[in-house]
Structure 1
Amino acid sequence: MRIQDPDRADEGLLRLKALGALLVLLRLGPVLILGVLVVIMANLSPVFATTQNLGNVLAQTAVIAILAIGQLLVILTRGIDLSVGSSLALSAVVGATVFGSSDGGALTVLAMLGTGAAVGAVNGLVLVYGRLPHPFIITLATLSIARGLALGISGGQPIRGMPDVVSTIGGDSATWLAAWLPNSTFLVAGVAVVTTVFLTRIVWGRWIYAVGGNPDGARRLGIPRSAVLISVYVCSGLLAGVAAIVTSGRLNAGSPTFGDLAELDAIAAVVIGGASFLGGRGHVGHALVGAFMIGVIRNGMNLLNIEAYLQLIVIGVVIVIAVESDVLRGRLESRFRVLQAAAS
């Protein structure tokens, strides 16, 4: 019988606890960083902590947050959707065109949602049935196609006018609760809750995690991988249509320039929040934390009159740090499992 040295056992247990504590810090890292950013910005600018500016941050972040939630669904399956910004622009232009010809609020909203979902369906169907090696290819193509259609339909100019329901959602505040609180915040909260329930309480959501986390295992279990992949791209496109409603409501127009580089913000928000490009890991909270981190950085830098190019550099650095943190977390989790097995 092998007798374990008590000193070595205690040392191993100590290392296991230290590694576990470090993992907890890494998992909470995005939330902690967001809290530190808020404190720093509040000290650097007296305007930052005012309720009016908080309302501005929430309004500016709403579009990124909605797009990021859709992007999260795609990234959970080891995919990517580069077309959401262009889908937003096309949805807004189609909505403004429909409103100009029909003057119907419900029809306008349905047109915007349907346009976004249609672009997402094209992405998913071509990816699956075209047997493409990676979604980068088709989503890059639809990025260009959707933007071109938006420019063609609008003639390259914004189309003014949106129905009251769109203006209320995207541009008005919840005066019944707080005059500074934008209505779009409630829309973001609703999308977040519905998506969370979808991912955690419904079998389809568990299939999404399975397809991204272990594709071979999902195939052996008989999970309908093709249908799951198509569904996440449709959802991503649909949420681009929702983001178009918010953007058009704020600006009372549909423009082909809406959503320019928004796909990069959405991807950055998901990655900064802690989700993994390797799939199968992440939740809605990750996307929201990342989106608000980007919103706080941009808002704070604008208040401090920092040049726009420096804002891009800072966000890029934050993305690199977030990706490296994800890699480090993966290695530490593997090491933690080894130590845990040895300790048991």
Structure 2
Amino acid sequence: MSSTVDGRPTPSVRGVLADNGALAGLLVMVVALSILAPSFLSTQNLLNVGVQAAVVAVLAFGSTFVIVSGGIDLSVGSVAALSAMVGAWSSAEAGLPGPLALLVGLLTGVVAGLVNGVLVAYGRLPAFIATLAMLSVARGLTLVVSQGSPTETPDVVGFLGSNLTPYLPMPLLVMLVFFGITGFVLSRTYSGRAMYAIGGNEEAARLSGIDTRRQKLVVYALSGLFAAVAGMLLAGRLSSAGPQAAVGYELDAIAAVVIGGASLSGGVGRATGTLVGALVLAVLRNGLNQLQVSPFWQQVVIGSVIALAVLLDTLRRRTR
């Protein structure tokens, strides 16, 4: 039985887990892996899980804005690679100072996002088609800029992939910062409320006075910015920007958002759920490696878990 605070029921742990299937699944996986692979719960391994989750989580936070507003962004992996490559090229070839090269890389992501937004909001292209085109364009531009070879990143980007202390990796800190930013935007800003309104019913949002086209520009610009940050994190970890970096990451980002409870039809999604979804994928991959499962079978298991998570969430919503 739940207690009350200020006349309102306080949800029990059981109730919270019942309403958050991804969180319950994450806890079950952690318990199971701690039994099957005792080294899973070591401090170093848990930090590795956080670092592995960071890039996908930041990508997924950007994708959360898009999915909540009823859209989709298939280009985030390619935009991440392009942004990191442009930043690295600006430093290594154009001779820009590291911080300025980092800024150029971030602006590249914003511009790519704005192009997506213009195509969707003003060109009225389906988001799937517009962002699929950007996926190809951004990957092609990455190859053009790099000439097919990795490019060394400036020190400031390398810092993003380093450890502040033995127990505080920068990627983990950046992930938590952008988790806070995502939660703030969704819950405390006009644009966040507009995203939910547009995703719930775009025509009703327009009739209520929301400039839906301008808000879509904001949504895709944020997605591009977050993709650029994720690209910098990945490049920082690898100490170089590669032309084939982040291939397929857009699917992981979308999977993390959906596993976290967002609806692909729009209007539903939270930063907390997306973070849990990214951690589910990272824990699952790390655990399968700990258990020495073949990489071929890992893809089968991860795909099955994603499908099961979405199916269970759909059934839970229908039951409620």
- Which residue is 1:30 aligned to? 22
- Which residue is 2:208 aligned to? 221
TM-score (ref. length: structure 2): 0.92
1:173-188 → structure 2 map (5 Å cutoff): 173-175=163-165, 179-188=166-175
Report how far residue 140 of structure 1 moved.
Answer: 0.5
What SS does structure 2 have at the residue aligned with 1:174? strand
- Which residue is 2:116 aligned to? 123
Paired letter, 1:122 = V
Report how far residue 103 of structure 1 moved.
Answer: 4.7
- 2:275 maps to 1:314: no
- 2:277 maps to 1:285: no
Specify which of 151, 160, 166 is matched with residue 169 of structure 1.
160
Specify whether residues 119 and 284 from structure 1 end up closer, same or farther in structure 2 by C-alpha distance, changes over 3 A only: same
- Which residue is 1:342 aligned to? none
- Which residue is 2:86 aligned to? 94
- 2:36 maps to 1:44: yes
Specify which of 187, 211, 216 is matched with residue 200 of structure 1.
187
Specify which of 291, 297, 314 is matched with residue 304 of structure 1.
291
Q: Deviations over 1:123-157 (max 9, x none)?
A: 1101111111x200010001011101111111111
1:60-79 → structure 2 map (5 Å cutoff): 60-79=52-71
What SS does structure 1 have at the residue aligned with 2:262? coil
Report how far residue 43 of structure 1 moved.
Answer: 1.4
TM-score (ref. length: structure 1): 0.86
- 2:119 maps to 1:136: no
Paired letter, 1:45 = A
Report how far residue 24 of structure 1 moved.
Answer: 5.8
Paired letter, 2:121 = V
- Which residue is 1:7 aligned to? none
- 2:236 maps to 1:244: no
Q: Deviations over 1:94-148 (max 9, x none)?
A: 111011122511111101111111111111101111111x200010001011101
Whole-Å separation in 2 of the counterparts to 1:303 and 1:156: 33
Report how far residue 23 of structure 1 moved.
Answer: 8.2
Q: Where does the alignment leave 5 or more consecutive residues of structure 2 unmatched? A: 1-12
Paired letter, 1:272 = I
Larger-gyration structure (1/2): 1
- Which residue is 1:262 aligned to? 249
What SS does structure 2 have at the residue aligned with 1:47? helix
Paired letter, 2:236 = G
Report how far residue 332 of structure 1 moved.
Answer: 2.1
Q: Where does the alignment leave 5 or more consecutive residues of structure 1 unmatched? A: 1-20, 334-344
Query: Conserved in 2, the CA contact under 8 Å of 1:23 and 1:329?
Result: no
Task: Tell me the number of residue pairs that the alignment of Structure 1 and Structure 2 aligns.
Answer: 307
**Deviates further, 251-260 or 180-189:** 180-189
Of all paired residues, the percent bearing the same amino acid is 46
CA root-mean-square deviation: 1.6
Query: Conserved in 1, the CA contact under 8 Å of 2:80 and 2:109?
Result: yes
Query: Conserved in 2, the CA contact under 8 Å of 1:84 and 1:263?
Result: yes
Report how far residue 330 of structure 1 moved.
Answer: 2.9
Whole-Å separation in 2 of the counterparts to 1:145 and 1:204: 28
Report how far residue 216 of structure 1 moved.
Answer: 2.5
Q: Deviations over 1:237-282 (max 9, x none)?
A: 1001100111111111111111110000000001111111121111
Report how far residue 27 of structure 1 moved.
Answer: 2.1
Paired letter, 1:104 = P
- 2:148 maps to 1:156: yes
